[in-house]
Each structure stands twice: as structure tokens, then as C-alpha cells.
Structure 1
Amino acid sequence: MANERVPANLKYTREHEWIRVEGNIGVVGITWFAQDQLGDVVFVELPEVGRELKQNEQFGVVESVKTVSDLYIPVSGKVVEVNKALDGSPELINQDPYGEGWILKIEIADPAELDNLLDAAAYEEFTKEG
């Protein structure tokens, strides 16, 4: 079942991050479910470009009017770009979590790690249980 809140072409973490694979680059953001739970996002702490991250490592935070939430990287690799638009417009995460609200791009070190992530159906099931 297709669901615009859980796009089928992405992989998901149990911490509510998503990754879209484009060649050897992974585009990472937080899910519709996560931004909905957070409420209005007011600040995003982005990692440094060039930072090496290990799968599931905390790489930043998202701050909303309700809470502060850690961000975890879905796969190991090197940060090659961050979404600078979020500095001035963190609300992009609420408005377009799978598009303009992306957080970073990572050069994927080990594509096999993608197998540890949830597909759309599993993520949908996971968010229903919670």
C-alpha cells in the first residue's frame, strides 16, 4: 500500500530517520511521523561536512516547540553536504520532510548496512505499534 507519509523508495530507522540512495550518496532526513510527533521545528543542529559517521551514531539534533530530539545516521559514511536552508528555515522539515526538508547527504561507506534498515511496509508497521 503506497503512502505519501511513508514513501516506498526510502529505507527507515527505528529512530525515524529516512535515507534515499542516489548512487553512492545517501540523502537523509526525518520522517513525516517524526516531524508530526515533534510539532513545529524551530532549530536543526547540522554536522560538519567531512565528518565521518558510524551507522546509528548521533549526528545532530532537531529542536521543536515541544522537545529536543537526537538524530542518528542510518548508515556509515562521510558527510558530503548539509542542507543549509534549514539554518534559516527549519520549518522545511515540517512542510516537506522528504523533499526540501532533507538534512544531510552522506557518502555511503558500506551499502550492505542498508539491509539493516526498515523498508516502507516494516516502518509503517513499526509506527502503528508505537
Structure 2
Amino acid sequence: MSSIPSNLRYTDSHEWVLDNGDGTATLGVTDHAQEALGDVVFVELPDAGRELETGEEFGVIESVKAASDLYSPISGEILEVNESLEDTPEAINESPYQDGWIVKVKLTDSDQLGSLLDADAYTRIVEAEQD
């Protein structure tokens, strides 16, 4: 079973969101997602300063198996991108919740976090996909 930290929020498309508690959030892909992708070889990162809307595509992760679009689970302005992924995209495989984060966003509406899945709900989705 994939690691599913209880302090994060999730989407059914396998992105995670960490509420940083200061009006910002950090986004990445879940352990389950990186396992399904296989070895990540490239990450197309968005530009800092870009405004995101919920559900909008903001990047691509390429692995030896496939390419997958990244979708923003929240609206806001990209404050920072994890530029280290340009040289070490495998950080997503090795540490999806720490070193493998993708962007940090200034939230437009922090109430959106409440509409995301908690760890228990996300666990049920992952289990259903594995059946």
C-alpha cells in the first residue's frame, strides 16, 4: 500500500496539497501516482507568477512508461517551482511528499482546501483502483 500522510489533502487524480498555514500551499503527486508512473525522467514545470484555476493543467510528468498531465487542485498564484526537479526528476519517485514537491501556490481561496479529500477518503480511492 502506498504511503498516504494524514496531514495532506488529496485529489482523485492523485495530486496532494499541503496547507502551509500562511495562505500558501505546496502541491505534488502522491506516492501512489509515482508508483503507477514508474521511473520519472522529466517534469515540465510551470512559470512562477502564473495564475492557476482549479482543475487547470499546469505541467507534465514523463516517466519511462507514460506522460501524465498535472492538474491544479486549487486556485492561486504560483510563488515557487521546485527547480531541482529539472536536474533530478527522480526525486518524485524517491520522496514524493518531501523533495519531490512541484509548486508552491498563494491561495486565492483557502476554503477550497476543505473540498479536497482527506487521507481516509483518498485511501478508499487507491484501494478501489487496486482491486
**TM-score higher than 0.5 here?**
yes
AA matched with 2:4:
V
1:1-130 pair list within 5 angstroms: 5-22=3-20, 23-130=22-129
Instruction: Indicate the percent of aligned positions where both proteins have the same amino acid.
Output: 49
Question: Gapped runs of 5+ residues in structure 1?
Answer: none
Q: Aligned with 1:113: secondary structure? A: helix
Q: Aligned with 1:98: secondary structure? A: coil
AA matched with 1:78:
E
Q: Aligned with 2:97: secondary structure? A: coil
Q: Between Structure 1 and Structure 2, how many residues are aligned? A: 128
Distance in 1, Cα, partners of 2:125 & 2:115 = 14
Distance in 2, Cα, partners of 1:58 & 1:113 = 17
AA matched with 1:24:
G
Distance in 2, Cα, partners of 1:36 & 1:27 = 20
Q: RMSD of the alignment, in Å?
A: 1.1
Deviation of 1:4 (Å): 7.3
If the length of structure 1 is used for normalisation, what is the TM-score? 0.96
User: For 1:12-37, what per-residue CA distance to the aligned partner results, in whole angstroms no more than 9, with x for missing partners?
Assistant: 01110000011211000000000000
Q: Aligned with 1:97: secondary structure? A: coil
Task: Detail structure 1 runs of 4+ shifted over 3 Å in the superposition.
Answer: none
Deviation of 1:112 (Å): 1.1
